[in-house]
Structure 1
Amino acid sequence: MPFLKRTRLSLLEVRALIKKIFIWTTIIALISLFFLSRKELFAEAFSADKPAMSFPEKLTEDGCLGLNYHRVQDDALFVKSARTVLQSNELVQYSVLKSEFQAQIDALVEAGANFLNEEQLLKAKEDGDFPEKCAWISFDDIDVSVYDNAFPILKEANVPFTMFVIAGQVGNKDFSNLEMATWDQLREMKDSGLADFGSHTFDMHRFEGETPVFLVPGQADAFREDLKKSVEMIESELDVTVKSFAYPYGNTNERVARILKEQDLEAGHILAPQVIRPADDNYWINRVIVNQTTFDDVLLPYLEKN
């Protein structure tokens, strides 16, 4: 019966093995030092203990909570690792995990939230009569994570929501490193009876220098055309009526608000750490960016008390 022979390593092979061990040990040590050196950064990383936006004061006034989301990411290990390591606005401010979103919707339902769609929100605001525990959920941009991860949860819970669409980027598989939802996916969400739609520009969701391009002086005519084009495309593709606009990056000015009025839109939505109040200007309607810390520390306690 054949047997295995024991072989001796030559001196050169031993040296090569030692060299490989040394190289890998050095690499591991350097990686460890890198992580240790950035310990403070990791301690501040996404959603562990950092709110998505600053709240100068607690939410105390009566009104409706406008909850805004962008990405609802998978709970895959690489996503969790990336958001622990990286300090980018995309991960720090604009994303929640699917498990977090599920827990948030469950908590809102348990707390007795009265979910409104946008039409109901604007009507209640006009009447000055929001229901108790009022909440309105919106999404900006609309990448595939909204369809894949958020929509099934909202559908199961029968919760209405509004999507603000970058009309010219629908179906783009690489918009700022995001895969955008397709028109067919948007139609499926619309057909659920839960989704309504607004504009988030046609193709002006970008910066010129340090300023959102739609806010740059001299861009008024370009914005008018972009807004008109976006509304027409969304209405044509989805067979809906577009009544509102969400300002990219969450801010606006009087010139842009006037353009919305000129084009017969009923509302414009900003990002601000306040509830929606009846007296607020319809073209500066507040929405709060949600992550788990903001939800736990600010939003759910407010809803439970009102």
Structure 2
Amino acid sequence: MNLKKRLLGRMLGALYRVPEKVLSNNYSVIIMFHSVSPYETSDEPSCYCSLDAFQQILDHIKAQGYRFVSMDECLRSLANGNYTGQCVISFDDAMDNFYQYAYPVLKERNIPFIHYVPSAQLGSPRIMSRLEIADLSADALCTIGSHTRNHVNCAQCMDLEAELYGSKQELEDLTGREIKHFSYPWGTIDDISWRTIRILKRAGYDSAAGTLSSSLHFFSTMSRYYLPRINAEAYLPLLNIGTK
């Protein structure tokens, strides 16, 4: 790891700390999901949440006094100095079970959400189709974000501009909407770089989300290109909610 990458990691690590108790301080949060289904379909248990647990998590967040907002509204609030009381629901990977299970729940509850999509993988096994993404994007509750074209590691990809610019353009062509937000595949501090952030800014992205588990606070206004997200699946035990 070179010096610049070590400095980036130390800076982000200093800005965010893993909360001892989820949602304990009322700071705004981004909650991250991948696969939601009545049946465990993911090869990675940390990326699976049962449909029942998903609904319990939404109930729990609401009971804590949080208000569900879009990513755009959350970023506006952060820019205006409001760091509390808001929750963004996010999904990665465009898993096909989202359309069947999670989306109807969010729709019924009128909860905004953002879904980060690997654009070149649409229509692959277990991934939503282009038609489904286009349909989702027509819903005002939905924000579509980029997750690269091919779910690549941004710190290692040799053709990163094609992945970041290409995904943005493909999703804009598909949805007819501006794509302003991005999430890093895998999303740890080791999976990003200063180069990635520079390209994201040039490409016109307004934010980028990682997988460092923390709430949002004052420093989030200075690190919009590595926003922390709480992995709901990993934190289910702390919420006393089962995954199955």
1:271 aligns with 2:223: no
How far did residue 278 of structure 1 move? 2.9
> In structure 2, the residue corresponding to 1:284 is in which secondary structure?
coil
Contact 2:26 2:66 in 1 (8 A): no
The 3 A distance-change label for structure 1 pair 136 and 299 is farther
How far did residue 146 of structure 1 move? 1.0
Q: Deviations over 1:150-205 (max 9, x none)?
A: 001001111000000000011112xxxxx1111221222222321001100012x2
Give the Cα separation in 2 of the matches to 1:56 and 1:154.
26
Q: Residue 225 of structure 2 aligns with which residue?
A: 283
Count of matched residue pairs: 219
Unaligned runs of 5+ in 1: 1-53, 174-178, 207-211, 301-306
Normalising by structure 2, report the TM-score. 0.82
Between 1:102-111 and 1:260-269, the stretch displaced more is 102-111
How far did residue 112 of structure 1 move? 3.2
Q: Residue 149 of structure 2 aligns with which residue?
A: 202
Letter in 2 for 1:285: L
1:1-306 to structure 2, matched below 5 A, reads 55=18, 57-58=20-21, 63-75=27-39, 79=40, 90-91=44-45, 93-132=46-85, 134-173=86-125, 179-203=126-150, 205-206=151-152, 212=153, 214-216=154-156, 219=158, 222-251=159-188, 252-280=192-220, 281-291=223-233, 294-295=235-236, 297=238
Q: Deviations over 1:269-305 (max 9, x none)?
A: 11112101232211110001112x61452699xxxxx
> In structure 2, the residue corresponding to 1:112 is in which secondary structure?
coil
Letter in 2 for 1:124: S
The 3 A distance-change label for structure 1 pair 64 and 98 is same
Rg (Cα) greater in structure: 1
> In structure 2, the residue corresponding to 1:276 is in which secondary structure?
coil
How far did residue 61 of structure 1 move? 5.4
Contact 1:64 1:130 in 2 (8 A): yes
Give the Cα separation in 2 of the matches to 1:99 and 1:143.
18
Q: CA RMSD in A?
A: 2.4
Contact 1:62 1:277 in 2 (8 A): no
Contact 1:63 1:278 in 2 (8 A): no
> In structure 1, the residue corresponding to 2:168 is in which secondary structure?
helix
The 3 A distance-change label for structure 1 pair 299 and 260 is farther
How far did residue 55 of structure 1 move? 4.4
Q: Deviations over 1:39-91 (max 9, x none)?
A: xxxxxxxxxxxxxxx9474466553111000000224xxx3xx88xxxx6x11
- Bigger relative contact order, structure 1 or 2 (CA pairs below 8 A, ≥6 apart): 2
Letter in 1 for 2:187: G
> In structure 2, the residue corresponding to 1:248 is in which secondary structure?
coil
